[in-house]
Amino acid sequence: MLVAISFYLLAAVAIAAAFMVVASKNPVHSVMYLILTFFSAAGLFILLGAEFLALLIVMVYVGAVAVLFLFVVMMLDVDFVEMKQGFLQYLPVGALVGVVLFIEMFLVGAAYFSGEPTTVVERDPNVSNLEAFGEVLYTEYAGMFEAAGLILLVALIGAVVLTLREREGVRKQNILEQNARTRATGVEHVDIEPGQGIG
């Protein structure tokens, strides 16, 4: 019973938080909802008996969200002064996310240690979780795993191409010109009259 309640709560929170990631206009709120989504998905994996995937989501994805957030702030040019002035307006959303995360962790822990069977996957009890996961991933789902890697590679190439596109008014580094510079071409002597600036 406790496992079922935990599953439905985690699934509902994951869906709602994923919707709010897209619907929220503030990037700070979107990142908070994204972290909540990852924690909910990790709780679902624990209930399924895939502890390795749960730890992977928490350590890799939630850890990478901080880096992603830095990129979002740099690309959107968020005004830090304005953000610091409205610090208290983020407190309710942060407190809500924190309370939901605490409830989820408590329910998952209670369901995990309750003695009820949580996993729906039949596997040999003598085989470790990680070994069983790797055996399934690299045998039955090897094609899908490689397809996912190919999609991520295409996305990476697309991000690099979009970043390196040429735009007017943007100075671009030219390594050959920099290496070919001499003192005559790189230094200009300017004689400034007293009381005047450089025009």
Task: Check pLDDT > 90 for residue 109.
Answer: no
pTM over 0.75, yes/no: no
Q: What is the pLDDT of residue 66?
A: 67
The per-residue pLDDT for range 41-96, each reduced to its tens digit, is 888 888 887 788 888 888 888 877 767 776 766 666 666 566 566 667 777 877 88
Residue in the block written with tokens 């009890």: 125
Question: Hey, what are 83's tokens?
Answer: 């953000």
d(CA 106, CA 196): 71
The per-residue pLDDT for range 172-194, each reduced to its tens digit, is 778 888 888 888 888 888 777 77
Q: What is the pLDDT of residue 190?
A: 78
With helix as H, strand as E and coil as C, how does the chain read? CHHHHHHHHHHHHHHHHHHHHHHCCCHHHHHHHHHHHHHHHHHHHHHCCCHHHHHHHHHHHHHHHHHHHHHHHHHHCCCHHHHHHCHHHHHHHHHHHHHHHHHHHHHHHHHHCCCCCCCCCCCCCCCCHHHHHHHHHCCCCHHHHHHHHHHHHHHHHHHHHHHCCCCCCCCCCCHHHHHCCCHHHHCCCCCCCCCCCCC
Q: Please tell me the least confidently modeled range out of 132-141, 164-173, 186-195.
A: 164-173
The answer for residues whose C-beta is within 8 angstroms of residue 25's C-beta and 6 or more apart is none
